[in-house]
């Protein structure tokens, strides 16, 4: 076992199951983000994608298909142990071994929050079936006291509008994510690396600066780079000595928080009463004012904008009040 510590972050060249037991106490990790071996002969993926492996580092360690169920149960049990109550897990999986992964999550008594789909570019070309161009992202939490971290407006403000209409915040939080893989021609890389944009999104929504992030299958250290770049603490494991040595060397030159200045800043909501409980007096005032505006010839859209400004409420909240009265605010 080799341990490298950089800026207080810990990287272990070790099997994650043994490493979890040796190095990470119960209920101590805020967020786990990982992309474990898929159990599909990942060391031969280039044959399906027709890609040049000249710049891909050697040492990818696959899990035999017949052992995948036991492998999943063992490492997920340890992941559940180290997560804090209401800590969360993002687990990226293909469909081939998805049954085993979801069964292991149930045995570990982790609870599903969302079953996300990551739609990517450059799927596997086929002639006799549909092209596979997505992965599953299983977003689970450990039940217990406390509150699960979910930063609702960390990327887009609740009132930011998309260019074609609709809410940018709503669109960003839909459960199908369209994020391209990173194309790195003539660059040294790991066999299967998650794109930075995907990892940034997970960490923004589900962690805060100073939180402890863990990746039990570091591979190319993508999760580690993003976590440290966003000023989170990190601990992780990688069994391949080749991948570990390269990844640890890359971490030497990364300053904690280096990615923060690149993040998009959401437009803060200016709604004074957003999230506050309604009382009957306010409801009656909203309904009366809406009727007055519409009677004066104002369009529904303009009426809602006026009500939002005057009452400090969002459109959806105002629509719910009108629907309760039986109006159709669409």
- Does residue 237 sit in the same domain as residue 303? no
Q: Is residue 271 part of a domain?
A: no
- If asked whether residues 302 and 175 sit together in one domain, one would say no
pTM higher than the cut 0.85:
no
In a domain, 273, yes or no: no
- The token duo for 208 is 């805060």
In a domain, 306, yes or no: yes
Specify the residue for token string 């805060």.
208
Within-domain flag for 270: no
C-beta neighbour count of 327 within 10 angstroms: 15
The answer to whether residue 245 sits within a structural domain is: yes
Distance CA 274, CA 244 (A): 47
Which two tokens mark 9? Answer: 């972050």
3-state class (DSSP) for residue 189: strand
Least confident of 31-40, 80-89, 211-220: 31-40
| Angle, CA 20 vertex, CA 18 and CA 25 arms, to 5° | 135
User: Which among 146, 137, 145, 172 has a CA at the least distance from the CA of 158?
Assistant: 172
Question: Tens digits of per-residue pLDDT, 255-296?
Answer: 999 999 999 999 876 678 887 899 999 999 999 999 999 999
Q: Are residues 213 and 132 in the same domain?
A: yes
Cβ distance 122 to 49 under 8 Å?
yes
Q: Which residue has the tokens 């009040």?
A: 321
Residue 141, SS3 per DSSP: strand
The side-by-side arrangement of strands in the sheet containing 111-124 is 2-6, 9-13, 233-237, 212-215, 29-34, 83-93, 132-141, 111-124, 176-178
With a pLDDT cut of 70, the percent of the chain lying above it is: 90
- Single out the residue in 262, 296, 317 at which a domain terminates: 262
Span of 52-66, 69-83, 190-204, 237-251 with lowest mean pLDDT: 52-66
The domain that holds 60 is classified in CATH as 3.40.50.150
Looking at the fold, whether 175 and 306 belong to one and the same domain comes out as no
Q: Determine which of 151-155, 208-212, 318-322, 326-330 has the lowest per-residue pLDDT on average.
A: 326-330
- 33-55 as b/e, with b when 16 or more CB fall inside 10 Å? bbbbbbbbebeebeeeeeeeeee
Question: Quick one: pLDDT at residue 170?
Answer: 94
Work out the average pLDDT over 304-312.
Answer: 90
Strands (E), 105-220: 111-124, 132-141, 176-178, 212-215
**Domain limits for position 225:** 2-262
Q: Are residues 218 and 295 in the same domain?
A: no
Residue 272 lies in a domain: no
Domain count, the chain: 2
Q: Is the pLDDT of residue 56 over 60?
A: no
Same domain as 293, residue 153: no
**Strand 233-237 versus strand 176-178 pairing type:** unpaired
Q: 185 and 303 share a domain? A: no
- Tell me, yes or no, whether 268 lies in a domain: no
Q: Are residues 252 and 295 in the same domain?
A: no
Q: Which of 30, 14, 45 is nearest to 193 (CA)?
A: 45
**Which residue among 262, 293, 313 closes a domain?**
262
For residue 233, list its beta bridge partners: 212
Do residues 13 and 117 both lie within one domain? Answer: yes
Co-location of 50 and 14 in the same domain: yes
pLDDT at residue number 165: 85
Chain center to CA of 150: 10
Are 8 and 145 contained in the same domain? yes
What's the distance, CA 183 to chain centroid? 21
Residues 240 and 129 in one domain: yes
Note whether residue 330 is domain-resident.
Answer: no
């Amino acid at each position: 076992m080799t341990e490298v510590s950089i800026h207080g972050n810990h990287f272990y060249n070790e099997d994650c199951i043994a490493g979890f037991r040796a190095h990470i106490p119960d209920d101590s990790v805020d967020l786990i983000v990982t992309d474990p071996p898929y159990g599909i002969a990942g060391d031969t993926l280039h044959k399906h994608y027709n890609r040049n492996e000249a710049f891909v580092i050697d040492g990818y360690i696959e899990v035999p298909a017949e052992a995948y169920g036991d492998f999943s149960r063992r490492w997920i049990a340890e992941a559940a142990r180290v997560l804090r109550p209401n800590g969360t897990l993002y687990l990226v999986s293909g469909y081939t071994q998805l049954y085993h992964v979801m069964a292991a999550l149930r045995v570990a008594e982790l609870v599903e929050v969302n079953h996300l789909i990551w739609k990517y570019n450059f799927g596997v070309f086929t002639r006799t079936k549909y092209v596979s161009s997505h992965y599953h992202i299983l977003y689970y939490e450990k039940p217990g006291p406390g509150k699960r971290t979910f930063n609702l407006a960390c990327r887009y403000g609740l009132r930011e509008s998309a260019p074609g209409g609709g809410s940018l915040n709503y669109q960003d939080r839909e459960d199908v994510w369209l994020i391209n893989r990173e194309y790195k021609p003539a660059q040294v890389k790991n066999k299967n690396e998650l794109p930075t944009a995907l990892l940034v999104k997970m960490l923004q929504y589900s962690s805060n600066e100073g939180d402890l992030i863990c990746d039990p299958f570091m591979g190319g250290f993508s999760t580690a780079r993003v976590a440290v770049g966003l000023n989170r603490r990190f601990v992780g494991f990688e069994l391949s000595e080749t991948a570990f040595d390269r990844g640890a060397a890359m971490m030497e030159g990364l300053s904690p928080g280096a990615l923060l200045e690149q993040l998009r800043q959401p437009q803060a909501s200016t709604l004074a009463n957003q999230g506050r409980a309604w009382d009957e007096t306010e409801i009656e005032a909203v309904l009366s004012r809406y009727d007055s505006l519409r009677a004066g010839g104002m369009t529904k859209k303009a009426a809602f904008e006026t009500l939002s400004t005057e009452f400090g409420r969002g459109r959806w909240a105002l629509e719910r009040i009108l629907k309760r009265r039986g109006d159709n605010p669409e």
